[in-house]
Amino acid sequence: MLRIGITGGIGSGKTTVCKIFETLQIPIYYADDRAKWLMVNSPSLQTGIQQLFGKEAYLEDGALNRAHIGGIAFKDPAKLQKLNALVHPAVFVDGENWQQEQLTFGATYTLKEAALIYETGSYKMLDKVIVVTAPEEMRIERVMKRDNLSAEAVKERIARQMPESEKVDKADYVIQNDGQHSLIKQVLSIHQAILALKA
C-alpha cells in the first residue's frame, strides 16, 4: 500500500482537495486534526503538556487552553520546541496505527494530510508528496474569511511557514488551487498516476 502525503501552506486548500480524494474512497489521515484530538484525549500527552505548561494548560471542561499555551510558546521558543517534541512522536505512532488498520480495507494508497511534511521530515516515510498551491492573495483572503482574522495576522502565519516555492520544488505532484484550474481534473489525474505506480 503506497503512502502519499498532501501538504501546502495555510489556506492553500489541502482540506478542500482531500474532500475530493475522499469521494474516490481514499483513506485520509488528517494529522493536524488528529494532533489536536490527541492533545485532549491521550493521557500521556496530557501529562506531558501539564508538566510543560502547568495545570492551566487545560480548561475546566477538559479543552486545551490555547490562549495560555500560545502565550507561553510565543515568548519561549524552547517551550514550543518541547511541545512539538511531545506532540510529533505521539501523532507519528497514532498515524502508524491508523496505517496498519487501513491494510485490512485494501485501498491501493492512503493519504496523510499535514501542514508540516517537509519541515518535520515525515516525507521520508512517504512514497510521494502532493503540494497544493494558491496565489498568496487568494490564500490570505480565504483564511481571513474562514478564521475571521486580519490580513496582517494571516501574513504573519504565512511568513512563519516554509515558502511555497520551496515546497513546489520538492513536490512529486502539484495541485493549483487558483480558481482557474479544475481541482477535480487535477485530483483525478494524480489519482491515476498513483494507481499506475502500483500497476
Stretch that binds ligand ATP, among 9-17, 47-55, 90-98, 164-172 (CB under 6 A): 9-17
Is 115 a residue that touches ligand ATP (CB under 6 A)? yes
Is 108 a residue that touches ligand ATP (CB under 6 A)? no
Binders in 166-185 for ligand ATP, by CB under 6 A: 177, 179
Which grid coordinates are listed for 183? 481541482
* Separation of alpha carbons 187 and 190, rounded Å: 5
Stretch that binds ligand ATP, among 5-13, 51-59, 93-101, 167-175 (CB under 6 A): 5-13
Q: Are 120 and 81 in contact (CB under 8 A)?
A: no
* Separation of alpha carbons 85 and 91, rounded Å: 11
Is 48 a residue that touches ligand ATP (CB under 6 A)? no
* Separation of alpha carbons 33 and 113, rounded Å: 9
Is 14 a residue that touches ligand ATP (CB under 6 A)? yes
Instruction: Give the count of beta carbons closer than 10 Å to the beta carbon of residue 28.
Output: 17
134-173 mask for ligand ATP (x: CB under 6 A)? --------xx--x---------------------------
Helix, strand, coil abundance in the chain, percent, nearest 5: 60, 15, 25
Q: Rounded to the nearest 5°, which phi and psi values hold at 175?
A: -115, 125
CB of 32 to ligand ATP, least distance (A): 7
Residues near ligand ATP, by CB under 6 A: 8, 10-16, 115, 142-143, 146, 177, 179
